[in-house]
Amino acid sequence: MRRPDAVLAALLLFSITLVAAVIGTSTAAPPLTADRIAQLPRDKQAPWKEYLESSNRQMAADRAFLAAELKRAGLEHTILPPSGAAARSLPLDRAGEWYATPEASRLAEIAISFQTPAGGWSKNLNLADHVRRPGEHFAPNNLSRFPTAGDFDAPHDPEWTYVGTLDNDATNTELLFLAKVATAAKGDFAAHSRAAVLRGLEYLLRAQYPNGGWPQVWPLQGGYHDAITFNDGAMVHTLEVLNDVAAGRASFSFAPSDLRKRANAAVKRGIACILSSQIFVNGRRTVWAQQHDMLTLEPVAARNYEPVAESSSESAAVLVLLMSLPDPDKAGMAAIESGIKWLDRTAINGKAYTRTQDGRRLVDAPGGGPIWARFYSIGDDHPIFGDRDRSIHDTVDEISAERRNGYSWFTPAPKEALDRYAEWRKTHQPTTH
C-alpha cells in the first residue's frame, strides 16, 4: 500500500498537470475602425481613413446592387447558391488549347456571373453548376456548423458573410482561370473574360491596406477577417498573381502597362509588409502568424481555436515566396535564413498524426517525419492547440474530439521550404540578422 503522503503528492501532481494543460484563452482580434485610426499619429491617419471609407462605400454599393435585383425579381429573400470550391470547379492545369473549348467558356461564364460588384468572389462556391440567377446571393451559406457563445466567426449580419474574399483560394483562383480563358478565347468572349479579369485585379489593388497587407475579406467584414491574412495562402497567392501581372507573364500579357506598374508597386508594398510583420523574439526574427493586426502588425487570433501563435505552414509558404524573388535585399535574406532556422528547430521527427481507434492522435512513428505542429507558442516554440471554447492547450489530446479530428493540427508542408532553401542557398550568400 502506498503511503498517504505519497498518494496526496501524486494527486496534487495530477491536478497541476490537468491545470497546466490549459495554458491560456484566446481573445478576439480587433477590427479596423475609425476610432482605432484616430489613435494613429496624425500624419499616418489619412490613407487609413480613405481606405476605410472606400470599404464602407463599396459594402453599401454591393448590398444596394443585390437589394435592387431582388426588388426587380419580386423576391423577398435571396436565393442561396450551391456550395463547392472554386479550386475544384475551375481547373488550372489543362493544356492551353482547352481554355478555348465550350466547356471552359461555360465555366468562365458561370464564374463571371458570380463576380461581386466590387470585383471579387466569395468562397465555397460551386462554379460548375449554373450561371447566377437574378436575386441569387454572391455567397453560399458560410456560417459555422458549430456556433458557440462568443464565436469569433459570428458575422454582424448572418446573411452577408465572405462576400468578396481571399480565403480558401477564392478570387485568385477565378482570376487565374479567367485569364487563361481570356488568352485562349477569340472575339467577344475573350473581351468579356478580359474585362472580368481587369475588374478582379482592380479589386485586389483596392483591397490592399496602405501598409501593403491584405485582409481576408473585402469590403471589410469586421473581426479577425480584417487582419492581414497569411492563412490558406491568402496574401502569398495574391502577391503571386500580382507579380505575374506586373511581369506580363503568360495569361496576363493583355494587362495594360499602367495596371502592370500598379501591380508591381503593390507587390513591393506587400513584400515590405511581410518583412515588417515577421515576429521577433529576444531581438531575433522567427516566422509569421496566421494573421497580423493591420495597424500594429502584431500577431492576432482568428477563429476561436486559432490562437495567437507562430504558424508553421503559412510561414513556409511565405519563405517559398521570398526565395522566388530574383534579388532579395539584406532584410529579405535575413528573413529567409531566420525563418528556415526556425523550421529546422521546430521540426518533429519520429511521430505521425494519424487516425486511431480513439480518433486522430499524435503517435510514435519510427523513421517518420519531419512534421510540424500548426501552431507554436511565441517565445518558447512549443506546440499549442486551440478549441471552440477559446481555450489554448499544450497537448492535442486535451482538446475536444470534434476539433482534434476536424482540423489539421500537424503538417509535413514546411518540408518544401527546407528543400527549396537547399537549392536557393547555392546561389545566395548568408547575411547576419
Q: Domain of 205: which CATH number?
A: 1.50.10.20
314 and 261 inside one domain: no
**What is residue 432's predicted lDDT score, i.e. its pLDDT?**
52
Residue type for position 163: V
187 and 336 inside one domain: no
- 363 sits in the region (left: phi over 0; alpha: psi -120 to 50; else beta) called beta
Quick one: average pLDDT of 9-31? 66
247 and 295 inside one domain: no
Residues 360 and 352: their CA atoms lie apart, in Å, by 10
Answer yes or no: is pLDDT of 136 > 60.
Answer: yes
213 and 300 inside one domain: no
178 and 283 inside one domain: no
Domain span at residue 320?
A: 279-433
Answer yes or no: is pLDDT of 327 > 90.
Answer: no
Is 15 within a domain? no
**What is residue 9's predicted lDDT score, i.e. its pLDDT?**
41
Where in the sequence numbering do the catalytic residues fall? Answer: 168, 303
Quick one: average pLDDT of 305-314? 98
392 and 426 inside one domain: yes
87 and 133 inside one domain: yes
> pTM value?
0.93
Quick one: average pLDDT of 328-349? 96
Q: What is the SS3 assignment for 115?
A: coil
Answer yes or no: is pLDDT of 6 > 70.
Answer: no
The pLDDT-based confidence of 87 (bands split at 50, 70, 90) is confident
Query: What are the residue ranges of helices labelled H in 253-329?
Result: 257-277, 312-324
Handedness of CA 299, 304, 307, 313 (dihedral sign): negative
Instruction: Look at residues 277, 310, 325 and tell me which one is the last residue of a structural domain.
Output: 277
The pLDDT-based confidence of 431 (bands split at 50, 70, 90) is low
pLDDT averaged over every residue in the chain: 93
**What is residue 8's predicted lDDT score, i.e. its pLDDT?**
37
Residue type for position 45: Q
Q: What is the SS3 assignment for 355?
A: strand
Is 254 within a domain? yes
Instruction: Look at residues 248, 277, 306 and tell me which one is the last residue of a structural domain.
Output: 277
Residues 229 and 217: their CA atoms lie apart, in Å, by 9
Residue at grid coordinates 489554448: 392
Instruction: Look at residues 231, 247, 277 and tell me which one is the last residue of a structural domain.
Output: 277
Residues 88 and 70: their CA atoms lie apart, in Å, by 29
